[in-house]
Amino acid sequence: MSNRNRFAWPLAASAALVAMPAMAQDAQWDRESHFDGVYVQGAGGIALNGENGSSFSFDTNRDGNYGETVTTTTGANAFGPGFCNGGANGRTRADGCRKDKAGVDYAARIGFDKRAGNIVFGALIEGSDNEMKERSSAFSSTPAAYRIDREMRYAISARARLGYTPGGGALFYATGGGSYAKINHDFSTTNAANSFTENNDGKMVWGYQAGGGTEIMVTNNISLGLEYLYSRYKDNKYTVAVGPGTAAATNPFLLNGGGTNLRLTDKYFDTHSLRATVGFRF
């Protein structure tokens, strides 16, 4: 499916919502019962990266302290060519980098609201996933490229909601809470001399979410909505151990004790999601 078709239905739903407030205002429904009780919802849209990639950090003697410089036998910075916020297209910085990948975002949730006049208090539990991918690359003077991609596989989240409904029919709300997600990583390199061992890939990590949205009742039981959600996860456990492989002892990764650990400098994985929602209230 093309990106154009993939994102067409959230955009169409967004356009439809422009007309919904008038429908909700004119319809003769039981507005006193709106936004009070149990509901289920599905959500879908687009997820974007929040940081545009990251540089690499090195622990050259594996003592747990990162931020050190990998040097050649002459003392030069082995990563002098630098880094890029994207996926390396080749062995050198001049080959360029692919940008981070936006992706489909989808979720299912169950929640409960309690209405007190025009104020709505609520809570929900949600399972979600998205296909957004963040790419980061480094280039050594060998020349060689090193690349780490990371993406969220799934998340389980619990959030509170606080909203305002102007007489029923429509709800405007803020939401926030905790989230527990599985973050996958993919390491690749054009360096065929050293060995590379990934550690702590696919671990579950904690984070938080915050956002807001609107929900419009189109019948007494069915609602449509739009929602923005920001998610941040502390992704600081993934490392790559660089070993000798077939490299000589003068290899820059080996000069300070036989090996080097590397990781992303950015310890957080961030996403911005824009979703259309459809719900059923019991």
pLDDT digits (tens, 9 = 90+) for 44-73: 999 998 665 679 999 999 999 999 999 999
Q: How far apart (Å, rounded) are the C-alpha atoms in residues 146 and 236?
A: 18
- Specify whether the CB–CB gap between 240 and 261 falls below 8 A: yes
Q: Which tokens in the block code for residue 150? A: 């990371």
Other Cβ atoms closer than 10 A to 247 = 17
pLDDT at 18: 46
pLDDT at 1: 42
Please report, in angstroms and rounded to a whole number, the separation of the first and last CA atoms in the chain. Answer: 34
Residue 33 above 90 pLDDT?
Answer: no
Q: How far apart (Å, rounded) are the C-alpha atoms in residues 20 and 26?
A: 10
pLDDT at 239: 96
**SS3 state of residue 97:** strand
pLDDT digits (tens, 9 = 90+) for 174-225: 999 999 999 999 999 999 999 999 998 878 999 999 999 999 999 999 999 9
Q: Which tokens in the block code for residue 179? A: 């989230």
pLDDT at 85: 87
Q: Is the peptide bond before 252 cis (omega within 30 degrees of 0)?
A: no
Share of the chain above pLDDT 70, in %: 88
Average pLDDT (124-141) is: 95
- Specify whether the CB–CB gap between 129 and 102 falls below 8 A: no
Question: What domains, with CATH codes, occur in the chain?
Answer: 3-281 (2.40.160.20)
> 230 to each of 31, 47, 142, 165, 274, how far by Cα in Å?
31, 10, 39, 23, 9
- Note the pTM of the prediction, 2 decimals: 0.85
pLDDT at 200: 85
Residue 10 above 70 pLDDT?
Answer: no
**pLDDT band (50, 70, 90) for residue 23:** very low
Q: Which residues are registered as beta bridge partners of 225?
A: 215, 277
